[in-house]
């Protein structure tokens, strides 16, 4: 569960002038945005804003949140550089409040949590979607624990196909795949990595 110490750690990471995970969006997210009509998008744990900025550039109405004030500062700076704007709230994953059925899509990228918090957050995010709304997700597979290329050092915080199927059982799963990919997205995510991608549609 997020704590004040966690927030301080992420603030320290984001305080640097350099963008910890780069300024370009996640590749799977880019594919999603480029192939769907703009709507209202929620981006939890959005950090320095690379995905939010890209979606805003493509005409989406973006609401992002994170518990890191430094992440928000960097995100709004990047948005100003690119000539876009979006809502960025400071709140924790355990305490966000958005109206049910108010978003067309939710994007979750390397948002790692322990169970049962993970299950609750995923359920609450699905409730924020309109019928037919999408969840687009990429995160580290449990097999990533053997790599020193990013992600938590606790295997319980990593993902499995079975966990995602269970967490998002209220959705039709359109894509669910395990990949081995080479990443070069900032100094904290570089090298061969084992990930899971998912695209789901709310019934």
In angstroms, the Cα distances linking 35 to 32, 120, 132, 180, 199 are 5, 29, 15, 23, 13
What is the phi-psi region of residue 139: left when phi exceeds 0, alpha when psi lies from -120 to 50, beta otherwise? beta
The answer on pLDDT for 1 being more than 80 is: no
Contact residues for 95 (Cβ-Cβ < 8 A; gap 6+): none
Mean pLDDT of 40-58: 98
Helix (H, G, I), strand (E, B) or coil at 165: helix
Calculate mean pLDDT across residues 5-17: 86
* Band of residue 2 on the pLDDT scale cut at 50, 70, 90: very low
Sign of the CA dihedral running 73, 81, 32, 110: negative
Q: Is the pLDDT of residue 3 over 50?
A: no
Task: Give the model's confidence band at 198: pLDDT under 50 very low, under 70 low, under 90 confident, else very high.
Answer: very high
Better-predicted residue by pLDDT, 188 or 27: 27
Instruction: Give CA separation, 126 vs 78, 129, 136, 138, 200, in Å.
Output: 28, 5, 11, 16, 10
CA–CA dist 92, 107 (Å, integer): 16
Does the 4-202 domain belong in CATH 3.20.20.80? no
Residue 148 has pLDDT above 70, yes or no: yes
Q: Evaluate if residue 165 carries a pLDDT over 50.
A: yes
Pick from 18, 20, 17: nearest CA to 9: 20
Q: Is the pLDDT of residue 188 over 80?
A: no
Q: Write out the two tokens for 91.
A: 């709140």
Model confidence at 187, in pLDDT bands (50, 70, 90)? confident
53 membership: H or E segment, kind and range: helix 50-57
Question: Domain residue spans in the chain?
Answer: 4-202
Q: What confidence tier does 120 reach under pLDDT thresholds 50, 70, 90?
A: very high
Quick one: pLDDT at residue 5?
53
> To the nearest whole percent, how much of the chain has pLDDT over 90?
85
pTM: 0.93
- Can you give 26-50 as a three-state secondary structure string? CHHHHHHHHCCCCCEEEECCCCCCH
């Amino acid at each position: 569960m997020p704590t004040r110490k966690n927030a301080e750690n992420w603030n320290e990471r984001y305080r640097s002038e350099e963008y910890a995970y780069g300024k370009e969006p996640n590749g799977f997210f880019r594919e999603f945005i480029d192939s769907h009509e703009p709507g209202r998008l929620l981006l939890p744990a959005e950090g320095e804003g690379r995905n939010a900025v890209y979606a805003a550039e493509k005409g989406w109405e973006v609401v992002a949140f994170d518990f890191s004030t430094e992440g928000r500062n960097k995100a709004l700076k990047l948005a100003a550089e690119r000539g876009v704007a979006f809502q960025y709230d400071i709140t924790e994953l355990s305490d966000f409040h958005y109206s049910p059925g108010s978003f067309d899509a939710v994007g979750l990228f390397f948002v790692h949590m322990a169970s049962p918090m993970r299950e609750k957050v995923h359920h609450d995010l699905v409730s924020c979607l309109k019928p037919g709304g999408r969840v687009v997700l990429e995160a580290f597979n449990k097999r990533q624990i053997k790599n020193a290329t990013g992600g938590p050092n606790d295997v319980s915080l990593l993902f499995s196909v079975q966990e995602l199927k269970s967490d998002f059982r209220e959705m039709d799963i359109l894509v669910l795949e395990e990949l081995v990919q080479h990443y070069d997205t900032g100094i904290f995510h570089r090298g061969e990595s084992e990930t899971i991608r998912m695209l789901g549609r709310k019934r």
